[in-house]
Structure formats: structure tokens, C-alpha cells
Amino acid sequence: MKKIISHFLSLFVAVSLLAGCKEDEPDFNVTPKSSIVFDDNIDKATADFKLADNVAIRVGIIGSATSVRVTSNYSVGTTAKTKDLGTVAVSNGVAVFSVPSNSLRNSADGAIVGASDVAPTSSRPANTYNLAVDAFNPDGSSERRFFSAVIVR
């Protein structure tokens, strides 16, 4: 009888100890190595720029990125087009990107006209350039955020 009680007691202790162990759950949270913020405003994703001025954007980098590349995406008719606008180095967490407004598209695609700054929204899309902003980290990875630049007269 003592042996049976001893076995049940040992089994009870073993089950209790195993039940107290918690299995670690895998961490599926993926946080970027760098975050991109435009003009010190996390919510900013678009702005109007005068045709005769520069498209100037202060790109704040939270993280380890060392350079920022900007690519312009636009349409000519139904054809999608792109233009590499260049790469800017990150210094103290900031990259200042500035190019003339009329350089957002390839010269072979015609001149930028610029929308009226009081134009109805239906006439603005042809003057909107979606800028893909890529922040490159030292390990070769990158983060991407988009910015819409609307060119007005």
C-alpha cells in the first residue's frame, strides 16, 4: 500500500511541476529598423509645391538608416513611369531632399504644367507625383514610405 501511495504521490508531483511550466510563445511582432517621418510630422504624407520652386522635404529617420533614395512615380496617359531622383545621405537622423519641381518626371514625357492651386480635385491627379522614399540600413535592409507631391501653379 505504501508503494502505491508513493507512486501516486510522485506522479502527482511530476504532473504539478510540468503543469507549472509555461511554453514561451514566439514573438511575431516585426518592428522596422528605421522609421521615416516627413517634415517632423508623423501623419504628413502629401503637400503642394509651386511649379517654379523646389520640392523640399525634410526626411527624419528614427533608427539606423544611412541614406535615403527618392523615386518619382507618375503616369503619362495609361502608362506608369518612374524617375530616380537621387540618394541623400542621412546626417544626425535627418536627410534633406530637394529637387526642382519640374524634375519630377522625365523630360521625354513632356513638361509639368502644374494644377491651379484652387482647381477642383478632379484636375489634380495628373499633377500628383508619388514619391517612394527608401531608407537604407547598414545591414542592407530598407524601409519604404510614400509621399505625394502635388505641383501647383
CATH for 85:
2.60.40.10
- Sign of the Cα torsion 109, 111, 115, 117 reads positive
**Does 44 map to a domain?**
yes
Say which residue, 138 or 2, is predicted with more confidence: 138
The pLDDT value given to residue 17 = 61
Given a cut of 60, whether residue 127 has pLDDT beyond it is yes
**Does 6 map to a domain?**
no
**Does 15 map to a domain?**
no
* Number of Cβ within a 10 Å radius of residue 103: 15
Say which residue, 8 or 121, is predicted with more confidence: 8
> How far separated are the first and last CA of the chain, in Å rounded?
98
Given a cut of 70, whether residue 72 has pLDDT beyond it is yes
**Does 7 map to a domain?**
no
**Does 43 map to a domain?**
yes
The pLDDT value given to residue 131 = 96
CA angle 97, 103, 107 (to 5 degrees): 155
**Does 42 map to a domain?**
yes
Given a cut of 70, whether residue 65 has pLDDT beyond it is yes
Q: pLDDT, tens digit, for every residue of 99-108? A: 999 899 998 9
**Does 80 map to a domain?**
yes
Number of domains in the chain: 1
Q: How far is 92 from 115, CA to CA, in rounded Å? A: 36
What is the extent of the structural domain holding 120?
Answer: 34-152
Average pLDDT score over the chain: 82
The pLDDT value given to residue 130 = 95
In this prediction, residues 65-81 reach a mean pLDDT of 92
The pLDDT value given to residue 46 = 93
Please indicate, yes or no, whether the overall pTM of this predicted structure exceeds 0.85.
no
**Does 17 map to a domain?**
no
